[in-house]
């Protein structure tokens, strides 16, 4: 395809004037600036955008509708401003919360856009800000600096213009990668003057989100040079081991690949929010139906009344029964509108805010080492923390510490390291040396054995560690600084140095090592490079005595099958590998062999011929490498610890017990990710791991496991019933659920995901099987095919105990989360620490950023910020479960008290001729939900606990309650509605029954006294119900209940005083009503009777629930106590089996190509003189 993205070096005018067409035939700048903007609002857009977002809530639309009705005096029962004021308060509170969140995003944008950089201006470089960078600018980068935009590498201070970059913040890989400039720019741009005169033109693909792909050309000096991703420095990379490098900006700002993968900020709503929106519609429809029924009844009643009382015809001369029914319909609508109380939403915002403070103040999530507390950056998602079903986690920096350390080894039938009964020591070492990871602590016995130099196998073992690698060394003062592309290699070289074998220097064809104080220089004859298929690397060297030896290190699965023979030492090493695998250490096998001069001469000749081939060079070299790496002698095995964050295995275990599935999404290699899966107990030795070929390949036999995805596909497509599925009458027989066999896990790559997420090519590659299952005459469109494959894959993945996705891009991470949300309707959480996790964090229902590690991008886009992964268990199992419990109880109590206290208006309509006459005093209606009953419910929303934090962590099974929506759902709402209606019905008709026959010792049979009696009966019933159902009592809880009663007494005295009545009789129209009624013993007995009748059913239900609930908890405690502790790891008797049967814990971070750089001399610095 023709490329349309043209970049001209040092030509800002061209890039600022270039335009491209956009919507509605408008044009805009083609080339963006480098400033980024993640904030949602500015001064002009905040008010309209925020109001637009807020009125997506159905409750707000409902309140506005009621306020509009209140403006019509013919139907209004309350002044319109009495509802406008609380609605305004609600909108202001939520708007301020959104504004505060957006101010944080503005601050983050300013911090990033204001980072310093050096831009070529004229003929010299000047310090400017990231936001000043434009496409076509030449930027100078220094060591440990972050790349500010996607750039073409022009040259660097390294030999052959190499540049080493760390991409952990982009793809999660910890090993260094190298980028190399074109030879023409390396040679032609050696000074600032030549860069200022540089007028090259880059033509390439339009900005896109493909992180590992770039295609383009550079035109300069009449020649055209091809470009690929190996020439590009991506925004967010960090320059390592390179003093200076220079780049031409290709994509800036939001056109850069990492920003294209970041996604957009989305307003997140909880499951309860969405349910409340639907409930508002349901309640409103019930309200309209009730109002309509009462209005129709009022019309019939008016007609009967007018016919019966004809002498009152003059009173109804201007209104017909139909007109009365019409006005009464709207009057009832307004009167009953309080069943969706506005105060509930205001109180909810306060509860969310305070529960967020509890998260911020929790010392159990405070990381003292770096003084980092937990931070709730969003205040409206707390309850959803108690409903998480899937956790999607990054690996590098989230589960791991990015620190590799030499832990154990097995040499000549002896295991060294912790757990062998020996102390560890930090030896003084023969010379100072350091790397990025620091010094290594080694086993004391191993150190003594190495220094005694009595074991020839151990000597060769340590010599291999010092020789077989691609580490570079640099002298800085009196120190040797190791520059390793792989953290594994650095750990091994540092371990060798600690044991007396110090790597000192290397040239293009030599390597110098100090062995126990003796300096020896080896001639490097060949380096057999590492790649992911070979899983090993070798070095062929000639020692000072003239002997030639091959040293090889690699995966046990490839080394063991290339041994000359197997004896007791090899068998013991295999058992040691089993032990290291159980300890989840990263293992490598080390082997060597002596090569005769004649054999080397013959092999060397053919190797040289292969290196100059123009076609099939790589295949021929692989064949020669395979030929040389045979008949090896095993020296031993190393075990490196990829240190996990503190408490990661325990956290994942607790989450799994809480029915939360953990998926690991990483850009790292499959071997590394799988090894970490075992280390953090996501995988166990009993786990059956499904690979890509087993998931998607065509079946060899009708019942083979490779039919797994096909069976899920058929099940989703309802094809099993037809009997056309091959091999079985039902897909479940081909693909049983995980519970039917041992636990399953899948490990897949980003390339495989591409086929599933975009085109469904997994099916197309095997066209035979799915189409055979389709009924005759049925065809599928490409979109339907893709959707079916997506769902089949999601069903398969969610049936597994664990899922590990490797080599995935940031956009793929987000797509995986989106798939699970789409097909499983599950609540998801994403946790990560780098810019590559931002899109995933934004897409998940809950986003958690790990602070203080790779940077602040993930934290700034997250809903919650934690210092370590282990704090996630407390965030979910304690705060999440408590928040869900509190919000659900709050909603249930609020609806109950509203129905119980105010639905008496409906029953009163049957006694008042179906007019919209309110039963209660206006002040009681106004204050009921604000002062009289809100405080006990508020205390439940703030403080309620069913079990302590310790018990919540001890029994994570309790978390399932939130996942299953047990505490608030449509059934619970229906029961609450009936309960409230029952309470109001009882309070109203007991009072009516009592007032029919007896008026007490004084005249209390009036309307006001009846109203007060019903109101007090309902109020006390509500308070007793809340008291009975509250599990966790504090001083504040008692004060809240007491305050409610005191406020009722206080406001009743104030609003019903004679003085208030004299001032405004229309507003204060219940003079002395409460005092008259509540001082009569008969009224008190009526109130007591109502209270008893309302309370007895609740007491019976609570007693039943308490009995069954206690038994359930006891069963869980009993089951937990029966679990036996896990046996300690020990070296068991070896069961003879092929190495392919044993789980390999091989993992090695390395990039192919470093051996070639060394042998060509491209990566070697000239020695300083």
Q: In this structure, how many other beta carbons lie within 10 angstroms of the beta carbon of residue 416?
A: 23
- The CA–CA distances, whole Å, from 790 to 751, 773, 800, 1123 equal 15, 17, 16, 38
What is the number of other CB atoms lying within 10 angstroms of the CB of residue 819?
19
Per the annotation, binding residues for ATP are 394-396, 489, 530, 553, 586, 666-668, 807, 813, 836-837
DSSP track, 275-314: HHHHHHHHHHHHHHHHHHHHHHHHHHHHHHHHHH-GGGTT
Whole-number Å distance between alpha carbons of 35 and 24: 26
Other residues' Cβ atoms within 10 Å of the Cβ of residue 16:
15
* SS3 call for 32: coil
Query: What's the maximum distance between 2 C-alpha atoms anywhere in the chain?
Result: 133
Distance CA 115, CA 143 (A): 15
The number of residues making up the chain comes to: 1169
Report the C-alpha gap between 1098 and 1115 in whole angstroms.
26
For residues 135 and 189, give the distance between their C-alpha atoms in angstroms, rounded to a whole number: 19
For 110, residues 6+ apart whose C-beta sits below 8 A from its C-beta are none
CA angle in degrees (0–180, nearest 5) for 1041-1042-1047: 100
H/E/C letters for each residue in 481-494? Answer: EEECCCHHHHHHHH
How far, in Å, CA of 365 to CA of 871, rounded?
Answer: 5
Task: Provide the annotated binding site.
Answer: 394-396, 489, 530, 553, 586, 666-668, 807, 813, 833, 836-837
Q: Where are the alpha helices (DSSP H) in 383-455?
A: 444-452
**Known binding residues for Mg(2+):** 394, 396, 833, 837
Instruction: Identify the CA nearest to 262 among candidates 889, 1005, 755, 858.
Output: 858
Q: What are the residues whose beta carbons fall under 8 Å from the beta carbon of 647, sequence distance 6 or more?
A: 868, 869, 870, 873
Contact in structure between 650 and 590 (CB atoms under 8 Å)? no
Q: What is the 3-state secondary structure of 685-717? A: CCCEEECHHHHHCCCCCCCCHHHHHHHHHHHHC
Where do the DSSP E strands lie in 1026-1091? none
CA-closest candidate to residue 485, choices 924, 947, 164, 844: 164
Check: CB of residue 116 under 8 Å from CB of residue 127: yes
Q: Quote the CA–CA distance of 819 and 390 in Å, as a whole number.
A: 12
866 forms bridges with which residues in the sheet? 850
Q: Rounded CA gap, 256 and 253, in Å?
A: 6
User: How far is Cα 835 from Cα 850, in angstroms, rounded to an integer?
Assistant: 11
Options 394, 642, 863, 1080, the catalytic residue: 394
- Is 529 noted as a catalytic residue in this protein? no
Phi and psi (nearest 5°) for 507? -120, -170
* Cα→Cα distances 996→890, 901, 991, 1070, 1075, Å: 37, 22, 9, 21, 21
Sheet with 472-476, edge to edge strand ranges: 433-434, 479-483, 472-476
Read off φ and ψ for residue 96, nearest 5 degrees: -65, -40
Integer Cα distance of 175 and 530 in angstroms:
13
Helix (H, G, I), strand (E, B) or coil at 425: strand
- The CA radius of gyration of the chain, in Å to the nearest whole number, is 37
- Could you write out the DSSP letters of every residue in 174-190? -S-EEEE--HHHHHH--
List the catalytic residues: 394
């Amino acid at each position: 395809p023709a490329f349309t993205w043209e970049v001209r070096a040092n030509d800002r005018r061209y890039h600022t004037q270039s335009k491209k067409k956009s919507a509605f035939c408008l044009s805009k700048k083609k080339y963006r600036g480098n400033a980024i903007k993640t904030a949602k609002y500015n001064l002009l857009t905040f008010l309209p955008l925020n109001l637009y977002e807020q009125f997506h809530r159905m409750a707000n639309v409902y309140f506005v509708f009621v306020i509009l009705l209140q403006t019509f005096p013919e139907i209004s029962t309350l002044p319109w401003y009495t509802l406008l004021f609380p609605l305004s308060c609600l909108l202001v509170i939520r708007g301020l919360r959104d504004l505060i969140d957006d101010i944080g995003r503005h601050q983050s944008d300013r911090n990033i856009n204001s980072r310093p950089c050096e831009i070529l201006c004229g003929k010299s470089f000047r310090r400017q800000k990231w936001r000043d960078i434009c496409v076509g600018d030449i930027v100078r980068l220094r060591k440990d600096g972050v790349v500010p935009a996607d750039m073409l590498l022009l040259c660097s201070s390294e030999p052959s213009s190499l540049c080493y970059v760390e991409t952990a913040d982009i793809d999660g890989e910890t090993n260094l990668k190298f980028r190399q400039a074109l030879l023409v720019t390396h040679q032609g741009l050696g000074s600032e003057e030549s860069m200022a005169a540089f007028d090259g033109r880059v033509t390439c693909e339009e900005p896109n989100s493909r992180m590992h792909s770039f295609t383009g050309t550079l035109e300069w000096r009449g020649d055209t040079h091809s470009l690929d991703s190996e020439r590009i420095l991506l925004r967010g990379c960090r320059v390592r081991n390179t003093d200076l490098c220079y780049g031409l900006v290709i994509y800036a700002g939001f056109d850069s690949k990492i920003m294209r993968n970041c996604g957009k900020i989305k307003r997140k709503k909880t499951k309860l929010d969405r349910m409340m929106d639907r409930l508002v519609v349901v309640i409103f429809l019930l309200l309209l139906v009730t109002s309509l029924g009462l209005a129709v009844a009022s019309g019939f009643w008016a007609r009967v009344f007018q016919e019966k009382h004809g002498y009152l015809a003059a009173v109804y001369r201007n209104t017909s029964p139909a007109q009365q029914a019409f006005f009464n319909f709207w009057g009832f609508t307004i009167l009953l509108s309080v069943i969706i109380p506005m105060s509930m939403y205001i109180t909810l915002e306060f509860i969310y805010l305070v529960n967020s403070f509890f998260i911020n103040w929790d010392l159990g999530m405070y990381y003292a080492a770096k003084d980092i507390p937990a931070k709730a950056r969003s205040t409206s998602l707390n309850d959803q923390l108690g409903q998480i079903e899937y956790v999607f986690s990054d690996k590098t920096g989230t589960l791991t510490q990015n620190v590799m350390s030499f832990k154990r080894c097995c040499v000549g039938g002896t295991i060294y390291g912790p757990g062998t009964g020996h102390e560890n020591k930090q030896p003084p070492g023969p010379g100072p040396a350091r790397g990025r990871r620091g010094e290594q602590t080694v086993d004391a016995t191993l150190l003594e054995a190495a220094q005694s130099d009595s074991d020839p196998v151990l000597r060769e073992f340590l010599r291999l560690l010092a020789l077989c690698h691609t580490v570079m060394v640099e002298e800085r003062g009196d120190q040797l600084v190791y520059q390793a592309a792989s953290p594994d290699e650095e750990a091994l070289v540092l371990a060798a140095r600690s044991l007396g074998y110090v790597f000192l220097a290397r040239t293009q064809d030599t390597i110098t090592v100090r062995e126990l104080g003796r300096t020896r220089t080896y001639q490097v004859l060949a380096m057999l490079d590492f790649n992911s298929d070979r899983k090993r690397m070798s070095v062929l060297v000639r020692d000072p005595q003239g002997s030639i030896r091959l040293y090889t290190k690699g995966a046990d699965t490839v080394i063991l099958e290339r041994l000359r023979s197997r004896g007791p030492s090899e068998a013991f090493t295999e058992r040691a590998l089993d032990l290291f695998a159980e300890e989840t250490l990263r293992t490598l096998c080390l082997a060597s062999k002596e090569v005769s001069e004649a054999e080397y001469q013959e092999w060397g000749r053919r190797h040289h011929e292969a290196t100059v081939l123009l076609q099939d060079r790589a295949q021929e070299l692989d064949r020669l490498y395979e030929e040389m790496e045979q008949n090896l002698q095993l020296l031993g095995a190393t075990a490196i610890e990829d240190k996990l964050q503190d408490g990661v295995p325990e956290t994942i275990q607790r989450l799994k017990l809480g029915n939360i599935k953990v998926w690991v999404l990483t850009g790292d290699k499959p071997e590394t990710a799988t090894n970490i899966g075992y280390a953090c107990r996501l995988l166990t030795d009993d786990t059956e791991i499904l690979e890509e070929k087993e998931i998607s390949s065509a079946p060899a036999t009708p019942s083979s496991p490779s039919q797994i995805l096909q069976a899920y596909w058929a099940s989703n497509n309802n094809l099993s019933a037809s009997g056309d599925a091959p091999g079985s009458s039902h897909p479940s027989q081909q693909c049983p659920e995980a519970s039917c066999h041992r636990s399953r896990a899948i490990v897949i790559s980003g390339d495989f995901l591409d086929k599933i997420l975009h085109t469904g090519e997994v099916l197309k590659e095997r066209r035979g099987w799915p189409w055979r299952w389709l009924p005759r005459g049925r065809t599928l469109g490409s979109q339907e095919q893709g959707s079916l494959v997506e769902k089949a894959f999601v069903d398969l993945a969610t049936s597994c105990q664990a899922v590990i996705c490797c080599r995935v891009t940031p956009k793929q991470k987000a797509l995986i989360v989106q798939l699970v949300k789409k097909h499983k309707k599950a609540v998801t959480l994403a946790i990560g620490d780098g810019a590559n996790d931002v899109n995933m964090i934004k897409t998940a229902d809950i986003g958690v950023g790990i602070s203080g590690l790779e940077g602040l991008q993930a934290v700034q886009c997250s809903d919650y910020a934690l210092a370590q992964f282990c704090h996630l268990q407390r965030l979910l199992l304690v705060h999440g479960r408590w928040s869900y419990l509190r919000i659900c109880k709050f909603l249930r109590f609020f609806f109950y008290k509203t129905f119980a206290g105010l639905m008496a208006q409906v029953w009163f309509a049957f006694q008042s001729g179906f007019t919209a006459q309110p039963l209660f005093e206006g002040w009681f209606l106004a204050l009921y939900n604000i002062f009289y009953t809100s405080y006990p419910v508020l205390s439940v929303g703030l403080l309620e606990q069913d079990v302590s934090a310790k018990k919540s962590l001890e029994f994570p099974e309790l978390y399932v309650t939130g996942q299953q929506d047990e505490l608030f759902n449509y059934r619970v709402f229906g029961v609450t509605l009936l309960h409230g209606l029952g309470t109001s019905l009882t309070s109203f008709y007991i009072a009516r029954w009592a007032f029919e026959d007896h008026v007490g010792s004084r005249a209390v049979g009036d309307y006001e006294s009846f109203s007060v009696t019903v109101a007090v009966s309902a109020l006390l019933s509500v308070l007793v119900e809340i008291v009975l159902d509250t599990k966790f009592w504090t001083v504040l809880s008692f004060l809240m209940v007491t305050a409610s009663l005191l406020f009722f007494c206080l406001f009743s005295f104030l609003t019903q005083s004679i003085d208030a009545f004299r001032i405004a009789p229309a507003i204060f129209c219940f003079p002395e009503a409460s005092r008259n009624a509540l001082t009569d013993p008969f009224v008190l007995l009526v109130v007591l009777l109502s209270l008893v009748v309302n309370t007895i059913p609740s007491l019976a239900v609570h007693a039943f629930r308490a009995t069954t609930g206690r038994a359930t908890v006891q069963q869980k405690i009993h089951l937990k106590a029966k679990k036996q502790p896990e046996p300690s790891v020990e070296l068991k008797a070896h069961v003879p089996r092929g190495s392919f049967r044993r789980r390999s814990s091989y993992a090695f971070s390395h990039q192919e190509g470093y051996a070639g750089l060394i042998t060509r001399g491209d990566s070697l610095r000239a020695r300083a003189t």
